[in-house]
Chain A
Amino acid sequence: SQTIHQWPATLVQPVGSPLSLECTVEGTSNPNLYWYRQAAGRGLQLLFYSVGIGQISSEVPQNLSASRPQDRQFILSSKKLLLSDSGFYLCAWSDYPTVVGLYGYTFGSGTRLTVV
């Protein structure tokens, strides 16, 4: 069965420090991968998505970046964190959609980031 791992679960970082959040998927090949941010426990903001190794699409201009060095590994990074980067970061994967329809997303357990 497919599983998604995301770590760390919580993180407290000072302003200006770097960030690296990692997400890995097991049990599937060539998944679509996504990074979302959720502020104040509400809506999900799509940050990045990837349909393959090295292929990253950015949805929101910001000081964050993403990379996909391996098929099932997705990394969210920042060189210098801002206070506004605080939030709940969620990684998700889905199978590549077919003409039949779109598959549901499976989310990781998330990382609660507090920038102080």
Chain B
Amino acid sequence: GQQVMQIPQYQHVQEGEDFTTYCNSSTTLSNIQWYKQRPGGHPVFLIQLVKSGEVKKQKRLTFQFGEAKKNSSLHITATQTTDVGTYFCAGRHAGGTSYGKLTFGQGTILTVHP
């Protein structure tokens, strides 16, 4: 079936270091979304990317959508302890009949050491 692979599974960083998580799809995506789930909480929508090569920024977070619309990345500059959590990408595969249904990556668990 259609899958979205996300790496790494875990990332431990020292506060102030940068962090990046990557998503790859075997098929072209219509769009990709990113979510953050704090420990013990529920996923919260961060952003959506739609256009090929699109780059969006939210303060220290930079989101990119690949030119072929098959991969995406989330980069956090100078991590803080408040960045701790699991980051998920989620994509909708182009041409699908399940209108609106997203496929989630497995998530990257980020821990930040103060």
A residues with CB within 8 A of B:
32, 34, 41-44, 46, 49, 51, 57, 90, 94, 96-97, 101-110
Query: What number of B residues sit within 8 Å (CB to CB) of A?
Result: 25
Residue of A nearest to B42 (CB): A107
B31 at the interface (CB under 8 A from A): yes
Q: How far is the CB of B108 from chain A (nearest CB, A)?
A: 10
B2-32 interface (Cβ within 8 A of A) = 30-31
Contact A44 B88 (CB under 8 A): yes
Sample of 16 A–B contacts (CB below 8 Å): A41-B109, A42-B107, A43-B106, A49-B100, A51-B99, A57-B98, A96-B99, A96-B100, A101-B50, A102-B31, A102-B92, A102-B100, A104-B35, A104-B48, A105-B90, A105-B102
CA distance A49 to B97 in the complex (A): 13
Q: A-facing mask of B54-69, CB < 8 A → 1, else 0?
A: 0000000000000000
Instruction: Judge whether B100 and A107 touch: CB under 8 Å.
Output: no
B30-53, CB < 8 A from A: 30-31, 33, 35, 41-45, 48, 50
Cα distance A32–B50 in the bound complex, in angstroms: 20
In the assembly, what is the distance between CA of A24 and CA of B98, in Å? 22
Say which residue of A90, A106, A109, A110 sits within 8 Å of B45 (CB atoms).
A106
B43 (CB) vs chain A CBs: closest residue: A107
Residues of A within 8 A of B42 (CB): 90, 107-110
Q: In residues 86-110 of chain B, which contact A (Cβ within 8 Å)?
A: 86, 88, 90, 92, 98-102, 104-107, 109
Cβ-defined partner of B101 (8 Å) among A46, A90, A101, A108 = A46
Q: Which residues of A contact B33 (CB under 8 A)?
A: 102, 104-105
The answer to whether B102 touches A90, judged by C-beta atoms less than 8 angstroms apart, is no
